[in-house]
C-alpha cells in the first residue's frame, strides 16, 4: 500500500480516483438488467425459475420456489448450537438498537380550532434480499438480520426473503435458521436482478413488495436503481469502503487487519488509512504485506489495495478529519488516544467506530446498528438502513369554521400570487 503526503497532487489524484469509482454502470449491464426485469414482469414465476435454473440450480421448479416448513425444520437440525447462540445475541442486540428508532403517531393543537398531526404506519409488505455468495456456501446471515429486523420492529406484517439457492436446489440452512429466528414470513429461492424484479412487480408466487432492502452485486444494485419509484428501496450501494483515522498510539497490526477486512469484499473496495505518524504509516504497510498472504481472498484484497488502497500522511488529525468528511466513508474508524474528543467534528460517515477495540466487523454482525450503510460519498446526505425505511407518514389536518375564517384570506392571497385561482376559490366559496 502506497503512502502519500496529504495534501499533494499525487494524494489528490488518489482521492479523486476513490471518489469517482462510485456507482457507474455500463450501458450493456443496464440493458441486460432491464431485460431481466421486463421478462419477470411479463412471465412471472416462469421467468424467475428459468433464470434460477440457468445461473444457480437446475433443481428449482415453480413448485419448489417457496421454502416449505419442512425445509425450515431440516435446516434447524443442520446448524450447530454455537451458531444459534451467536445468532441469539446478534438478534437481541440489533432489535434493541432498532427499537430506539421507532416513531410514534402524534396529534397537536397549535392554534385555537386547528389540529395537526402525523400518522406513522408500516408498509404492508417488505422484500429483503440476501446475497448467496459462492453459490450459497458462504451464507450472509447478517444480511437477513439487518434487513428483516428493522422491518419487524416497524410492524411490517409480511416480510419476504429472496436469496439464491445452492446447486442442490436448497437454501443454506444457516440462512433459513436466521430467517426463522426473526420471523421472516416466506423465503424464496431466487437471486440477482430477477429476484428484485419478482419483489418489485410480484409473481404468481412472490408477493409484490412496497419496499426492497438488502445488499447485492452490480445486477442487484442496478435492478434496485431501475425499480425505485415503483417500490421504495434502502439505497443504491456501491463497493464497500473503510477509512481509518489513527495517531501514533494505534496498533499497526490492528489497522492492517481492519483495512483488509474491507479489501477482501471486492476489488473495487476502498481501504484508506489517514495518520499524522510516519512510523505508524510505515509499520502498517509492513503489517498489510504480512497479513494479506494469509487471507483466503488474498487475490481480491490485493487488487483492492493496489487500486483503491492508500495511506494518507497528514500534518495533524484535524486535517485528517477534513479529508474524511470530504470522502464521507461508509465505515469510519477513529483509533486515536481520545476518540470521543473528535465526535462532533465528524460530519459525514455511514457508521463511526470509536477506539482500538471497535473494529468494523463488530458493526457488521453484533453491535446493534445496521450494517447497510451509504457508500460512494452518499453519507453526505443519506443514512443507514433503519426502521424509518419501512414506514410512511400521513399528515393530519383539521380546521374548525372559526379557525378557517381566521386564516382564509392569507390562503387566498398566496394562491392568487401563484396564479392558482381554483385553489383560491376553494377557500372563497366557504367564507
CA distance 250 to 386: 32
**DSSP secondary structure of 332-348:** EEEESSSGGGGGGG--S
CA distance 379 to 243: 13
Residues 36 and 227 sit within 8 Å (Cβ to Cβ): no
DSSP 295: -
Does residue 138 sit in helix, strand or coil?
A: coil
Residue ranges with strand state E in 6-113 = 106-111
DSSP 360: H
C-alpha cell at 422: 381554483
Kindly give, in sequence order, each residue whose CB lies less than 8 Å from that of residue 156, ignoring residues fewer than 6 positions away.
Answer: 122, 123, 124, 125, 126, 390
Kindly give, in sequence order, each residue whose CB lies less than 8 Å from that of residue 393, ignoring residues fewer than 6 positions away.
Answer: 103, 118, 119, 120, 121
State how beta strands 186-189 and 158-163 pair: parallel
CA distance 292 to 345: 33
Handedness of CA 215, 217, 220, 226 (dihedral sign): positive
CA distance 136 to 184: 19
Residues 156 and 186 sit within 8 Å (Cβ to Cβ): no
Catalytic residue from among 98, 264, 265, 331: 331
**Cα→Cα distances 187→71, 72, 182, 330, 393, Å:** 10, 10, 12, 29, 28
End-to-end Cα, the chain, rounded Å: 74
Taking the CB of residue 39, how many other CB atoms lie within 10 A of it? Answer: 18
Question: Can you tell me which residue has the cell 486515536?
Answer: 336
CA distance 117 to 287: 57
**Phi, psi values for residue 375, rounded to 5°:** -125, 180
CA distance 126 to 136: 22
Catalytic residue from among 170, 241, 264, 330: 330
Kindly give, in sequence order, each residue whose CB lies less than 8 Å from that of residue 264, ignoring residues fewer than 6 positions away.
Answer: 295, 297, 298, 300, 301, 304
Is 330 in the active site?
yes
Active site residue ranges: 330-331
Amino acid at each position: 500500500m502506497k503512502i502519500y503526503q496529504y495534501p499533494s497532487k499525487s494524494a489528490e489524484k488518489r482521492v479523486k480516483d476513490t471518489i469517482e469509482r462510485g456507482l457507474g454502470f455500463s450501458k450493456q449491464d443496464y440493458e441486460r438488467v432491464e431485460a431481466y426485469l421486463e421478462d419477470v414482469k411479463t412471465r412471472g414465476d416462469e421467468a424467475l425459475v428459468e433464470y434460477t435454473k440457468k445461473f444457480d440450480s437446475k433443481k428449482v421448479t415453480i413448485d419448489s420456489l417457496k421454502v416449505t416448513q419442512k425445509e425450515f425444520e431440516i435446516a434447524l437440525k443442520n446448524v450447530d448450537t454455537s451458531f444459534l447462540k451467536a445468532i441469539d445475541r446478534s438478534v437481541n442486540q440489533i432489535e434493541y438498537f432498532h427499537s430506539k428508532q421507532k416513531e410514534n403517531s402524534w396529534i397537536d393543537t397549535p392554534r385555537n380550532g386547528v389540529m395537526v398531526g402525523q400518522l406513522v404506519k408500516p408498509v404492508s409488505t417488505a422484500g429483503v434480499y440476501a446475497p448467496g455468495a459462492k453459490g450459497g456456501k458462504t451464507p450472509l446471515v447478517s444480511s437477513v438480520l439487518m434487513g428483516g429486523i428493522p422491518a419487524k420492529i416497524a410492524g411490517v406484517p409480511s416480510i419476504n426473503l429472496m436469496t439464491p439457492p445452492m446447486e442442490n436446489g436448497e437454501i443454506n440452512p444457516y440462512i433459513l435458521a436466521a430467517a426463522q429466528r426473526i420471523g421472516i414470513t416466506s423465503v424464496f429461492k431466487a437471486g440477482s436482478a430477477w429476484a428484485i424484479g419478482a419483489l418489485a412487480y410480484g409473481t404468481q408466487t412472490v408477493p409484490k413488495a412496497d419496499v426492497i432492502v438488502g445488499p447485492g452485486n452490480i445486477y442487484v444494485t442496478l435492478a434496485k436503481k431501475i425499480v425505485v419509484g415503483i417500490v421504495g428501496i434502502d439505497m443504491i450501494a456501491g463497493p464497500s469502503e473503510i477509512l481509518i483515522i489513527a495517531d501514533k498510539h494505534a496498533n499497526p497490526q490492528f489497522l492492517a487487519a481492519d483495512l483488509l477486512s474491507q479489501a477482501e469484499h471486492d476489488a473495487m473496495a476502498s481501504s484508506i488509512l489517514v495518520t499524522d505518524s510516519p512510523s505508524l504509516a510505515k509499520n502498517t504497510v509492513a503489517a498489510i504485506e504480512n497479513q494479506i498472504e494469509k487471507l483466503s481472498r488474498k487475490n481480491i484484497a490485493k487488487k483492492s489495495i493496489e487500486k483503491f488502497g492508500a495511506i494518507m500522511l497528514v500534518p495533524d488529525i484535524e486535517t485528517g478529519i477534513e479529508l474524511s468528511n470530504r470522502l464521507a466513508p461508509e465505515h469510519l474508524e477513529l483509533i486515536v488516544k481520545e476518540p470521543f474528543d473528535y465526535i462532533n467534528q465528524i460530519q459525514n460517515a455511514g457508521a463511526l467506530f470509536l477506539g482500538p477495540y471497535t473494529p468494523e466487523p463488530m458493526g457488521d454482525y453484533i453491535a446493534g446498528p445496521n450494517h447497510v450503510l451509504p457508500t460512494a460519498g452518499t453519507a453526505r446526505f443519506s443514512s443507514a438502513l433503519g426502521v424509518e425505511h419501512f414506514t410512511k407518514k400521513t399528515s393530519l389536518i383539521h380546521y374548525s369554521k372559526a379557525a378557517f375564517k381566521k386564516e382564509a384570506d392569507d390562503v387566498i392571497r398566496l394562491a392568487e400570487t401563484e396564479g392558482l385561482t381554483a385553489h383560491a376559490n376553494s377557500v372563497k366559496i366557504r367564507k
